[in-house]
């Protein structure tokens, strides 16, 4: 039986990957120490998801280990020698990073290096998939010519008709400290591929979402927005008139692409993994869709100051992904995703 090691296994993408690959017949090993509860408090706690995996997957083994524990990581990978490693663990908030810069960098950059070096030492033939982020582009996408529409911003340049491609610059822009730590990890994953020949991929995620997200204000856009809608809690819009746009991809479609890559791995590849233009929405548009499905009125306030380094408009150009893996495509629409998140929060709120 093939072995898969998933870091951040109790998070949104990590748990989806565990479940998906268990169905493919893999022996699943999850690495998680519930660090989100430290970063975000009790609302970020993911122990419920760990328990779900332990009861749902017969071949699941949980490893309570911090990415920053270099010797522990090396020992684990030496003992397991997984066929593939999917690295989803991170300090995930660009807002939170400024308050905890050492924790952020040590987790995102050094933790990734710990994993890469352990793989190089003990199982260099293993496929290494890294969940990066579109924040590696910093605020450079804001330099694209924009047009303001009734409920959203959009690109006003035909070159970006399909969105942001992987060739877009990551240099000379404001990233946030989180973006900078993820750039360091992203480039290191590429380098271990090119320099040592390890099959690696950096998946620069847009808004990764789905029903098993523990969304909080500083991380998890749609999950947190929908939670506010259902609870009647006030949602804070930060700048850009609430017209800032994101592309949203369901965690299942993320897992499906990871499966495609592991089945036919390449060396040092980078992919912009998002919902693409068809799965975009602004905050205002997300309010409307949430209200339509839940029947609850959205409560919100407007703060006339955008988050540092925040994108005005961002959506992923999916053409490289589809060219390399033509069997893959988006299967979950934006509305499907909203319905699943709403249903999931209703169950958890009981």
> What pLDDT was estimated at residue 235?
97
HEC per residue, 152-193: CEEECCHHHCCCECCCCCCCCCCCHHHHHHHHHHHHHHHHHH
> What pLDDT was estimated at residue 269?
98
Per-residue pLDDT at 216 exceeds 90: no
Closest CA to 94 of 253, 257, 247, 238: 238
Please, which pLDDT band fits residue 324 given cuts at 50, 70 and 90?
very high
> What pLDDT was estimated at residue 295?
97
Q: Which residues contact 187 (CB under 8 A, 6 or more apart)?
A: none
The string of pLDDT tens digits covering residues 98-118 is 999 999 999 999 999 999 999
Please, which pLDDT band fits residue 308 given cuts at 50, 70 and 90?
confident
> What pLDDT was estimated at residue 36?
75
* Bridge partners (DSSP) listed for residue 29: 5, 61
Cβ neighbours of 331 (radius 10 Å): 10
> What pLDDT was estimated at residue 215?
74
* Region 268-289 average pLDDT: 97
* Region 135-146 average pLDDT: 96
> What pLDDT was estimated at residue 40?
72
* Region 128-145 average pLDDT: 97
> What pLDDT was estimated at residue 218?
65
Closest CA to 84 of 47, 129, 23, 141: 129
> What pLDDT was estimated at residue 199?
98
Closest CA to 317 of 204, 179, 151, 152: 204
Within the chain, residue ranges assigned H as helices are 12-23, 35-40, 47-56, 70-80, 101-105, 111-122, 176-196, 221-231, 251-263, 283-294, 319-324, 334-349
Which residue has better confidence, 212 or 2? 2
pTM for the model stands at: 0.94
Residue pair 287/218 in contact (Cβ under 8 Å)? The answer is: no
Residue pair 301/237 in contact (Cβ under 8 Å)? The answer is: yes
> What pLDDT was estimated at residue 309?
78
> What pLDDT was estimated at residue 214?
73
Please, which pLDDT band fits residue 94 given cuts at 50, 70 and 90?
confident
* Region 220-230 average pLDDT: 92
- CA-based R_g, the chain, Å: 19
Pick from 107-116, 218-227, 291-300: least confident: 218-227
CA triple 249-8-81, angle to 5 deg: 115
Long-range contacts of 290-296 (CB under 8 A, 24+ apart): 290/225, 290/226, 290/229, 290/338, 290/342, 291/229, 293/335, 293/338, 293/339, 293/342, 294/226, 294/229, 294/230, 294/342, 296/229, 296/230, 296/232
Pick from 209-218, 250-259, 265-274: least confident: 209-218
Per-residue pLDDT at 44 exceeds 80: no
- Terminal alpha carbon distance of the chain: 38
Q: Is 239 left (phi over 0), alpha (psi -120 to 50) or beta?
A: left
Instruction: List the structure tokens of 161.
Output: 């008709």
Per-residue pLDDT at 145 exceeds 90: yes
Average pLDDT over the chain, rounded to whole? 95
> What pLDDT was estimated at residue 24?
96
Pick from 163-167, 274-278, 346-350: least confident: 346-350
> What pLDDT was estimated at residue 225?
96
Per-residue pLDDT at 26 exceeds 90: yes
For residues 67 and 147, give the distance between their C-alpha atoms in angstroms, rounded to a whole number.
Answer: 42
Please name each of the domains of the chain with its CATH number.
Answer: 3-349 (3.40.50.720)
Closest CA to 268 of 166, 179, 139, 182: 166
Handedness of CA 251, 252, 253, 255 (dihedral sign): positive
Please, which pLDDT band fits residue 93 given cuts at 50, 70 and 90?
confident
For residue 295, the 8-state DSSP code is -
């Amino acid at each position: 039986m093939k072995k898969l090691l998933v870091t951040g296994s109790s998070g949104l993408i990590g748990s989806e990957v565990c479940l998906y690959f268990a169905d493919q017949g893999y022996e699943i090993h999850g690495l998680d120490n519930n660090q989100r509860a430290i970063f975000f408090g009790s609302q970020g706690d993911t122990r419920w998801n760990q328990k779900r995996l332990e009861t749902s997957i017969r071949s699941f083994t949980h490893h309570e280990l911090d990415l920053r524990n270099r010797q522990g990581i090396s020992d684990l990978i030496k003992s397991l020698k997984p066929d593939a490693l999917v690295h989803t663990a991170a300090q995930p908030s660009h807002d939170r990073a400024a308050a905890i810069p050492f924790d952020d960098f040590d987790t995102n950059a050094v933790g990734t290096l710990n994993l890469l070096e352990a793989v190089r030492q003990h199982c260099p033939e293993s496929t290494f998939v890294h969940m990066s982020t579109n924040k590696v582009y910093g605020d450079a996408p804001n330099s694209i010519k924009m047009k303001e529409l009734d409920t959203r911003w959009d690109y006003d340049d035909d070159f970006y008709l399909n969105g942001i491609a992987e060739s877009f610059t990551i240099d000379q822009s404001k990233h946030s400290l989180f973006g900078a730590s993820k750039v360091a990890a992203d480039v290191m994953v590429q380098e271990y591929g090119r320099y040592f020949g390890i099959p690696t991929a950096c998946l620069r995620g847009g808004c990764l979402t789905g029903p098993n997200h523990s969304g909080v204000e500083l991380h998890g856009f749609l999950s947190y927005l929908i939670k506010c809608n259902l609870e009647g809690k006030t949602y804070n819009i930060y700048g850009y008139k609430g017209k800032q746009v994101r592309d949203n991809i369901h965690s299942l479609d993320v897992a499906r692409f990871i499966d495609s890559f592991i089945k036919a791995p390449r060396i040092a590849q980078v992919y912009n993994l998002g919902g693409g233009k068809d799965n975009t929405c602004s905050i205002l548009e997300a309010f409307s869709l949430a209200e339509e499905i839940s029947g609850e009125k959205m409560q919100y306030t407007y703060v006339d100051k955008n988050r540092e380094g925040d994108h005005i408009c961002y959506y992923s150009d999916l053409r490289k992904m589809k060219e390399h893996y033509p069997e893959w495509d988006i299967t979950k629409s934006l509305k499907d995703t909203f319905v699943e998140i709403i249903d999931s929060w209703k169950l958890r709120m009981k």
